Amino acid sequence: MFKFRFIYILAFLLLSAACVPSDPASEAVETTRPVATAVAIPTLLPTIGQFFGDLTAAGATVLHNGRTEQDLFPAEDIGFWHLIVNDTNINVYEFRDTPAREAVSQNISPRGDEYTYIEGESTVSIIWDGEGVSRWWTLDNLLVHYSGLDTAVIPILNSVLGQPFADGSQPYRPEAGSGSIAGIGEYGVSFQYDPYLAAGLSADITPGRPSTGPDDFIFDVMPDHITFTFLDTYATDWTIYHQTVNIPNQPQILIFPLETYASMNLMAQEQIAALDSLLRDRPDLPNGPLPHLPPPNGQQDLQAQMAYLTFQNGEGIRYLTQFNQEPRQINNQEIYYTFQGITADHSHTIAAFFPVQSDSLPAEDNITDYEAFAGNMPAYLAQTTADLNQLPTAAFQPDLALLDALIQSLLVEPVAALGTAD
């Protein structure tokens, strides 16, 4: 087992007004403002000259004091260039070749704030801490670092170097199935999930709403419940649209007190009874709409990829669906994964919602002749359902197996009192 030792380098690369460099070894040549490129560029590798030329071609003014030594990375033959690009301090590390640079850059954290390496039997971490956001780029044997508040220089660096490989301004989500696991335990509910799905979670008690009379909008009538909302998710940049209520746009898990919900809302009572029956009989291919809470005010046009799942203290079904109020294509803006479950003691019901996409579906509903489409709707839905059912879980984004694993890790033993709204 490795011992962990942390070295903190504070305000690395956040230079003073006098432009003192962050590498101690370069202080002797950086005591005055750098002057433009009268200093000869070493011929060790041509990449640094290419980089200077590309910055100039992009319209930037580039000043430097030549190549010095550095003492940040524990490797030999690494040159250090302190640049001023349009009055902004940029640090460049020049390695002897691209593999040497890769050996270092692969150990910089995705958010760019930590470099980790092995020293003997210890794992050493160098952490950058200060104002601004740390960003790292590569160009062949070069490693380029900027950590500051002048964001105007970032488009220039991106135009020359491409997007940074490490960027503290972006939420970090590892590749799906990387082995990382995140989790939460709030209000007596716990589960684990692949961090690819989200960068974080919030847990809240959401107030319910009692019925106000026979003419009330019954779909909104529900008890207080626990809401887990996934933050900075895989779907953050997706366009998501629903015609109906009670289908969240962001991934969520809702925990309802079962008997209270059933007593407040007749539709909820019917859906709970249907789910009970389904879990008792477990038919392979149920006919017609599947149970769904909270009830949307639309028609369930799709039931695909249905499967029974067991979690730590209960069971339920997962499936892909889309609710519509008019004939519409099944499309990537509206289809979603839901899990509908009940705890073994019949005390709580669980509803989970995750947007999904498939390359086999259109990006959005683009029907122009709705009359003709509506006339063929039953055949269209049957074929679309069959097509989606033939796909492996990995053919969806995210992989349905990641969502199933999250559901199966659920332990639902709420300690919060979930009653009705006042």
Tens digits of residue pLDDT in 101-133: 999 999 998 888 889 888 888 888 888 777 788
Query: End-to-end alpha-carbon separation of the chain, Å?
Result: 55
Q: How far apart are CA 59 and CA 137, in angstroms?
A: 19
Indicate whether 319 pLDDT > 60: yes
Inter-residue contact 339 to 350 (CB < 8 Å):
yes
> Whole-number mean pLDDT of the chain?
86
Q: Which DSSP state fits 166?
A: E
Q: How far apart are CA 290 and CA 303, in angstroms?
A: 7
Inter-residue contact 318 to 404 (CB < 8 Å):
yes
Q: How far apart are CA 88 and CA 55, in angstroms?
A: 13
Amino acid 421: pLDDT: 52
> pLDDT band at 45, cuts 50/70/90?
low
Residue with the two structure tokens 């419940």: 225
> pLDDT band at 84, cuts 50/70/90?
very high
Reading the block at residue 26, the tokens are: 């370069």
Give pTM, 2 decimals: 0.68
| Section 192-220 average pLDDT | 92
Indicate whether 19 pLDDT > 60: no
Indicate whether 40 pLDDT > 80: no
Amino acid 245: pLDDT: 93
